[in-house]
Structure 1
Amino acid sequence: MTTTIPDETTSVGTATVPRPEYPRPDRDRSERWLSLNGAWGFEADGAPERITVPFAWETAASGVGRTWLEQATYRRRIEVPASWSGARVVLCFGAVHHHAVVEVNGIRVGEHRGGYEYFEFDITDALRASADRRTDEASSAGDEIAVAVHAPADKREIPHGKQRSIPRDDYDGVSFTPTSGIWQSVWLEARGRTYAQSVAMRGDSLDGFDVRVVLDGDHPAGAEVEVELDGAEERIRLVADPEGVAEGRIPIAAPHLWSPEDPHLYRLRVRTGDDLVTVTGGLRRIEARGEELHLNGERLYVRGVLDQGYWPETGLTAPTVDDLLGDVAWAAELGYNLVRKHLKFEEPLWLAEADRAGMLVWAEPACPSRYSPASAAAFEAQLEGMVERDGNHPSIVIWGLYNEEWGLDWDIPGSPARAEAARHAYDRLRALDDSRLIVENSGWSHVKTDLLDWHYYEPDLGEWARAVGALASGEQETFPVRLGPDFVVDKSLYGSDDTPRTGIPLINSEYGEGFTSLERIWHLRWETQELRRHDRYAGYVYTEFADVEHEAAGLLTTDRRLKDGAGLVPRDVNAETVIVIDLVPRAAGADIVPPDAETTVDVHISHHGTDAVRGTVVGAWLAAYAPLPAEAPHAGAESAEVQAVPFRLSDAVSIAVPTHPAPGRFGLWFVDGAGTVRARAYLDAAEVESANRRGARPGEFPGHAQPGWTRG
C-alpha cells in the first residue's frame, strides 16, 4: 500500500489547521511550539489514505468515518524550525486510544497504553542531524513521524468509558460510538537541554504553593531550578535530587484565594538553565467537615450537571476551541456551579477555562466494564497521568474513580476482590493527591469514600419525594436501579457493614427523568426541589448537560441549543435561593387542577448564601405556560414574612391561590425586604387527559412501568 505522507506545509497557518490553538495554557511553552494537527497519511485496510488530526477515525470530521477499525498507522513529515537548533524537541500527544507505538525516522521513540492520558516523547536524538537540514527553507526530506495504533473492538477489560464495545458490555444501552486513534491535539515543543518535564503546584495551604518539579533532558540530577511568582517578588531556588526531582515551597505574602465568586489565578515561572515553563494554579482548599462540604472554610452546596463531552460530527473532540470553552459558559448560564465531566479526561483548555470562570469540576477516568486483576490494574494505571496532567487546576475539587461498579461486575458487596479493587484505587489516588475529595465508586455500594453519592432515576414523583426523604433521614439505604431491560436490582448506598452511615457528606450525583422536553423540564423542577428540601444533602448533579447520540436526556441538544423549557429558566431551579413547594404534582404541564375556588399552598425557602434573608412570597396568575417576569407583580397574593437561614430549609408559609378555572400558570416570587426578587417558581394548572387504552386486548402488555434506565 502506497500512502502520500503530508509534510508540514499541509498544516501551517490557522486557515488550514483544525484546532490550531496551543493545547496547554496551564503549562505554557507557547513561545516555541508547532501544531501537528491537520492532514496525516493513514494506512488501514479499506480506509482512505488521509486523515484529519485530531479527530477520531470514527468521526466524519476525520475524513475516514470507519467504526470497528482496530489497526491503523498515521504518518507525516515535519520540518523542525531552524531556530530550535540546540533545543531538545518533545513530541506531545493529548490522547490516543488505545495503544500507540511511535517512531521517528524509523526509530522507535516510545509507546503508550491508555486511551485518555496525555503522553510525550523526547525525540531529539531520533531527528536528522541539523547539518542534514537546510536552515533557510523546508528540507525536501524532513523528519517522518509514524504512529501505529491498536484500538481493540473488545474493550471490556480496558478503560473505555462510554465507548461501545464488541462483544457488547454490560452498559451497552448507554454507550456511544467508539473514539479510536488520535483524538486530541498533537504538537512539538522546543525545550531546554535540561527541562521541567512536569510541575505540580498545590495551594491547599491557602498561603503559598508547594512545588514539585520533575526534570528530564541532559543533566536533571543536581540541576538548579528557579521558581518565581509571575509579576511579584516571591521566588525560590531549588536543587534537584539524584532522581532529578526538586521540591520546595513558595510562600505568598498577601494570599488571594481562588473561589467560584473570585477565581483568582497565579502563574509560576519555572526556569532551569535555558528552559522556561509557566504554570497556572490557585490557592483553595476543599474539605469535608462531617456531613458538610467547605471551600476555603466556607460552606459549599454543589449544584452540578453531568457532562459527557460529545459533539455530533467530532465525537469526544470539540470541533473548535470556541465550542469547547462555550460549554463552561453554558453550564454557568443554566445555574450550575459544578460540572461532573463524565468518564473522560477533558482537554486542559476546558479545565483552564473552568479555572478562569470559577466553575467547580468533578473529574474522573474512564472505566473498564468487566473485572479481572488485569482490568483493575489498567484502570489504576490512568491515575498517575490524571493527577500529573490535571492536578494543578483549582477548579477540580472532586476526583471520581469507578462509576456504578462498572469494571466491578455490579458486585462490590458480593465479591471481596472487587470491593478491594475499589478500596485500592482510592488508596492509590489518595497517595497521589491528598488535596481533593475522592469518590471510589460513584452511585452506590460505597466501601471507602469521602462522599456518599447515589444515582437514582425514578419516574413517579411521589415515590421520588418519599425516597429522597427516607435516604436523607437514614430510614432507607436501598433503591431500585434498572441495570438492563429486564434486570432491576435494589442497590444500597453501602457496599459493606463497615461503611460509615453518618459523618460523610451525602450527595445525589445522577438524577433526571422523562422522554419529552416538557417531561424532563418538569422532572428537573420537582426532583431538584425535593433534594433542596432536605438539609442533610450536600448537593446534587443533574443528568445531563447535552444530548449524546440516542440519549436525549440533555438540557441542550447535541449541537448546544437550549431545549424548549415551556417557560422554565433552568437557572431558577439551580439558584442559590429557591422556593420549595409542598405539593406532589399531577402531570407534566399540569401540576394542579385549575382551581374553581380559592385555595392555599405551603412553600419554603432554601437559601445557600452567606447571610440570612427575610422576605415574602408573592403569587399571581399568568397565561398558561408564560415565562415568569423578572419582577414580581405589584398586585397579587402575598405570604407572611419568612426568614431563610443559610443551609436550613425555612419554616412553611402559606400563600393564597385565587380561583382560576381556566388553564394558567401561577407564578411565585420570593422578594426580600429591599424589593429584590431572590427566587422564582410556578405551578401549572391544566386538565390531565385520561390515558387512552382502547387498543389493548386481554393478556397484552402485562405488568407496569418500571423505574427508568440508569443513564450513568
Structure 2
Amino acid sequence: MIKLNKYLLLLLLSVTFFSANAQLVQNIFGRKHISLNGRWNYIIDPYEMGYYDYRHEPFDQTKSGKGGFYDDREQMNKSELIEYNFDLSPTMKIPGDWNSQVEKLQFYEGTIWLRQKFIANPATDKKYVLYFGAVNYEAHVYLNGKKLGVHKGGFTPFQFDVTGKLKDGENFVVVKADNTRKQDEIPTVNTDWWNYGGITRDVLLAELPSDYILDYKVQLSRSNPKQIEGFVKLSNAAAGQTVTVDIPEAGLKTTAKTDASGIAKINIPVKKLNLWSPENPKLYQVSITSATDKVDEKIGFRTIETRGQDILLNGKSIFLRGISMHDENPLIQGRLRGEGDMRMMLQWAKELNCNYVRLAHYTHNEQMNRLADEMGLLVWAEVPVYWTISWENPNTYQNAEKQLSDMIERDKNRAAVIIWSIGNETPLGEPRFKFMSKLADKVRELDQTRLVGAALEVHRKGFNVIVDDPLGEKLDLVSFNQYGGWYWELPKELSKYKFDIKYNKPVIITEVGGDALAGYHADEDTRWSEEFQESLYKHQIPFMNTMSGLRGMTPWILTDFRSPRRQHPFFQDFWNRKGLISETGKKKKAFFVLKDFYDQTAAKYK
C-alpha cells in the first residue's frame, strides 16, 4: 500500500506539472518580448543523473525539490561536492538541434540539460509568459530552480505563466530535453525522419498587460462568404468587457461584449473583400483591441470547400499543384533555423510552379505558415500520428489530440492553411478507426472553415489499386499515398493498373515518387539513377490522370532528407533520396518533368 500511494503521488505531481502549461497566447511574436535565443550551456546526461537520485527517485518530486541539475548550484566552499557545472560546460545555438551541432551527438537519443541566463526587470502591473516554439520531445522546464512544468510533443509550442516568479536582475532557465523514442508517444518509435533533439524553435519571454487579449479567430464564414466571423477571448473571464476588431483598409469595424467566460463572438457583414489566393496573396492589417490591450495581425480572407469531386477556393475549382517537405535544411544539417531557410524551401516550391505544399509529418514552424500566407502557397498541416502507434492507449490519444488542438489553435488565422491532416499511413483496424475518427471529430469541433484530411494507404488486388478505408467517410478528401513504380511494379508497367476508389470526393495524392542519387546517371531501368526517377514521374503522371476526381498532389518530396532508416552505403548513406532537389541544391531530372505538368495544369485552371 505504501508503494501504491507513492506512485499515485508521483502521477498526481506529473499531472499537475503538465496542466500548469498555460493556454497559448495568440500571436506571441506580436507582443512585447525579449528573445532568449542564443548560446545555451548544455550537459549530456544519458543516465539522467541530474534528475534522479541513486535510488532513481526524481529530485524535483522530493519534499525539498532540490538536488537536480536544474538548481544550477555554485560551489560555496572548497569542500562542497557538486558533480556538474553549467558555466564550464560547452554551448550550443538555440534554436537548434543537438544532433547537427555536436558530432558525437549525431545519433544521440536521451537527455540533455540546457541552461540560459537572462536579465529581467518585471513590473508589478504586468503578466509574463515564458514561451517555447518547440522542444523535442519531452521537456521539463525550470525557472530559477523551481519547476514550471512538463510538455510532451516535439513540434508544438507551449508556455508557462511566470508572473511573480521572475527576479529583478539575473534569472536562469533550465530545460531537461529528452528525445527518446517511445511506443506510446506521438510519434511512436518507428519513423522515417531524423529524430532531432533539443530546443529546436524560438524561446522568448513575453510581457503582457495584467488583463490581455488571450486568443482570437477572424476568418470568413465557410457557409456565408459575405460574413467575417470568429471570436476574441480575454484573459479576464468576466462578462461585459468591450472588444473591437478593426480592418481599416476594408472599411470594416465592429465592437462586441464578452460573456462570462471572457469570450466575445464577432460577426462582421462584408460588402467587398480582396480575397486571398495563391495568385493574389492579399493580407489585411487587422487590429484587435480591448480596454487594456491591442494586437495587430495580418490576415487573409478566403473560403475553401468541396463539392462533389471539386475543391473550391473562393468558389472556383482549383487543382492543388503541390509538393511535400520536411522541416529540415538539406544544405546545412538540422532543422530549418529561421526565415531565410524557410523562404528558401518555399521559393523552391514556387520554382516548381506549386500553389500548395504539404508540411509533413508533424507541425512545422509557425513562421513557415506565415510565409506561406505572404508568398501565396496553400498548406496541408499535419500531426505526427504516423504508421503504427498505440491505438488503444487513452494517454496516447490524449497526446495526439493535444498536439492537434495546439496546431489548430496556433494557425487558425492563416489563410494559407486549408487542410488539417490527422495522420499518415495508418493501418486498417477497428482500434485505429476509433482513434482517428475521434481526431477527425475534434478538428470539426475546433474549426469549421477548413477541410479534414489524412494520408491513407492503398491496397492492390490484381491490377486494381484500391482505396477503401472506412476513415474516408470522416474526411473531406480521398487523400492517399501510392508508390507505384518504386515499391511495387516498374514505372513502364503502371499503365496496366487502374484505380478503384470507393468515395466520390476530390482525390489528392499525398505521396508518390522514388529515389535518385543526384549526379548518378544510367538508363531508365537502373534504380537510383536520375533517369529511373525521371521515368517514374513520366509514367506516374498519366497513370494518376486516369482518375476523374484527381484535384491535386504532393509528390514525395521537395528535397532529399536525412533518415537513419536509409542504410545503403553508397546511394543513401542515411539519406532518403526521393527529393526532387539534392542535398547540394541541385535539381534532379524529375523536377522538370513535374514542373512541365504543373505548367500545363496551371494553364488549364486559369
TM over 0.5: yes
Amino acid at match of 2:205: L
Identity %: 25
Report the equivalent of 2:145.
106
Matches of 2:280 and 2:304 in 1, distance apart? Answer: 15
Question: Is the 1:303–1:541 Cα contact (8 Å) retained in structure 2?
Answer: yes
Is 2:120 the counterpart of 1:115? no
Report the equivalent of 2:98.
57
Distance apart, 1:241 and its partner CA:
2.1
Greater helix fraction, Structure 1 or Structure 2:
2
Matches of 1:190 and 1:214 in 2, distance apart? Answer: 18
Q: TM-score, normalised by structure 1?
A: 0.65
SS at match of 2:587: coil
SS at match of 1:507: strand
Amino acid at match of 1:201: V
Matches of 1:213 and 1:356 in 2, distance apart? Answer: 24
From 424, 446, 455, the equivalent of 1:432 is: 446
Unaligned residue ranges in structure 2 (runs of 5+): 1-23, 47-85, 459-468, 516-527, 563-574
Question: Is the 2:45–2:113 Cα contact (8 Å) retained in structure 1?
Answer: no
Matches of 2:97 and 2:314 in 1, distance apart? Answer: 40
Distance apart, 1:530 and its partner CA:
3.1
SS at match of 1:125: coil
Matches of 1:104 and 1:354 in 2, distance apart? Answer: 35
Matches of 2:199 and 2:355 in 1, distance apart? Answer: 32
Report the equivalent of 2:219.
202
Matches of 1:574 and 1:276 in 2, distance apart? Answer: 43
Label 1:184 to 1:267 Cα distance change in 2 as closer, same or farther (>3 A): same
Question: Is the 1:26–1:280 Cα contact (8 Å) retained in structure 2?
Answer: no
Judge which range, 247-256 or 380-389, deviates more.
247-256
SS at match of 2:543: helix
Question: Is the 1:57–1:65 Cα contact (8 Å) retained in structure 2?
Answer: yes
Matches of 2:312 and 2:228 in 1, distance apart? Answer: 20
Amino acid at match of 1:463: E
Is 2:475 the counterpart of 1:449? yes
Amino acid at match of 2:318: L
In our comparison, the structure showing a higher alpha carbon Rg is 1
Question: Is the 1:229–1:268 Cα contact (8 Å) retained in structure 2?
Answer: yes
Matches of 1:356 and 1:426 in 2, distance apart? Answer: 28
Is 2:100 the counterpart of 1:72? no
Distance apart, 1:281 and its partner CA:
2.1
Label 1:517 to 1:39 Cα distance change in 2 as closer, same or farther (>3 A): same
SS at match of 2:599: coil
Matches of 1:221 and 1:346 in 2, distance apart? Answer: 36
1:274-293 → structure 2 map (5 Å cutoff): 274-293=292-311
Distance apart, 1:198 and its partner CA:
1.9
From 400, 407, 415, the equivalent of 1:386 is: 407
Is 2:605 the counterpart of 1:609? yes
Question: Is the 2:26–2:214 Cα contact (8 Å) retained in structure 1?
Answer: no
Label 1:376 to 1:34 Cα distance change in 2 as closer, same or farther (>3 A): same
Label 1:341 to 1:567 Cα distance change in 2 as closer, same or farther (>3 A): closer
Matches of 1:64 and 1:104 in 2, distance apart? Answer: 29
Question: Is the 2:580–2:590 Cα contact (8 Å) retained in structure 1?
Answer: no
Matches of 1:59 and 1:85 in 2, distance apart? Answer: 41
Unaligned residue ranges in structure 1 (runs of 5+): 1-23, 134-138, 478-500, 579-606, 611-712
Matches of 2:154 and 2:476 in 1, distance apart? Answer: 27
Matches of 2:297 and 2:25 in 1, distance apart? Answer: 8
Matches of 1:219 and 1:428 in 2, distance apart? Answer: 24
Report the equivalent of 2:554.
541
Distance apart, 1:390 and its partner CA:
1.0
SS at match of 1:248: strand
Distance apart, 1:397 and its partner CA:
1.2
Is 2:581 the counterpart of 1:562? no
1:88-99 → structure 2 map (5 Å cutoff): 88-99=127-138
SS at match of 2:418: strand
Report the equivalent of 1:464.
494
Report the equivalent of 1:673.
none
Report the equivalent of 2:32.
32
Is 2:506 the counterpart of 1:505? yes
1:157-168 → structure 2 map (5 Å cutoff): 157-160=184-187, 165=189
Larger RCO: 1 or 2 (CA < 8 Å, sep 6+): 2
Question: Is the 1:193–1:275 Cα contact (8 Å) retained in structure 2?
Answer: no
Label 1:370 to 1:160 Cα distance change in 2 as closer, same or farther (>3 A): closer
Matches of 1:461 and 1:50 in 2, distance apart? Answer: 49
Label 1:146 to 1:224 Cα distance change in 2 as closer, same or farther (>3 A): farther
Matches of 1:43 and 1:562 in 2, distance apart? Answer: 38
Question: Is the 1:26–1:279 Cα contact (8 Å) retained in structure 2?
Answer: no
Amino acid at match of 1:512: G
Report the equivalent of 2:521.
none
Report the equivalent of 2:16.
none
Is 2:275 the counterpart of 1:257? yes
Report the equivalent of 1:144.
172
Matches of 1:159 and 1:30 in 2, distance apart? Answer: 30
Matches of 2:339 and 2:45 in 1, distance apart? Answer: 32
Matches of 2:299 and 2:577 in 1, distance apart? Answer: 36
Is 2:323 the counterpart of 1:305? yes
From 399, 402, 417, the equivalent of 1:396 is: 417
Report the equivalent of 2:389.
370
Matches of 1:534 and 1:101 in 2, distance apart? Answer: 49
* Cα deviation code 1:147-205 (max 9, x no counterpart): 223332x33221137xxx4xxx3x5xxx2331222111111222111112222222244
* Cα deviation code 1:58-105 (max 9, x no counterpart): 222x687353342232222211257x6743222111111222222222
Matches of 2:107 and 2:587 in 1, distance apart? Answer: 30
Distance apart, 1:462 and its partner CA:
3.8
Matches of 2:187 and 2:374 in 1, distance apart? Answer: 29
Amino acid at match of 1:248: I
Matches of 2:239 and 2:92 in 1, distance apart? Answer: 41
Amino acid at match of 1:328: L
Distance apart, 1:427 and its partner CA:
0.9
From 331, 354, 361, the equivalent of 1:343 is: 361
Matches of 2:103 and 2:470 in 1, distance apart? Answer: 44
SS at match of 1:542: coil
Distance apart, 1:229 and its partner CA:
1.3
Label 1:232 to 1:262 Cα distance change in 2 as closer, same or farther (>3 A): closer
Q: TM-score, normalised by structure 2?
A: 0.76
Amino acid at match of 1:365: V
SS at match of 2:345: helix
Question: Is the 2:494–2:539 Cα contact (8 Å) retained in structure 1?
Answer: no
Report the equivalent of 2:83.
none
Question: Is the 2:308–2:505 Cα contact (8 Å) retained in structure 1?
Answer: yes
Report the equivalent of 1:43.
43
Report the equivalent of 2:232.
213
SS at match of 1:521: helix
Is 2:339 the counterpart of 1:321? yes
CA RMSD of aligned residues (A): 2.8
Amino acid at match of 2:596: D
Task: Give the count of matched residue pairs.
Answer: 497
From 369, 372, 393, the equivalent of 1:354 is: 372
Distance apart, 1:279 and its partner CA:
2.5
Label 1:530 to 1:88 Cα distance change in 2 as closer, same or farther (>3 A): same
Matches of 1:200 and 1:180 in 2, distance apart? Answer: 32
Distance apart, 1:290 and its partner CA:
0.9
SS at match of 1:356: helix
Matches of 1:342 and 1:547 in 2, distance apart? Answer: 14
Question: Is the 2:454–2:479 Cα contact (8 Å) retained in structure 1?
Answer: no
SS at match of 1:112: strand
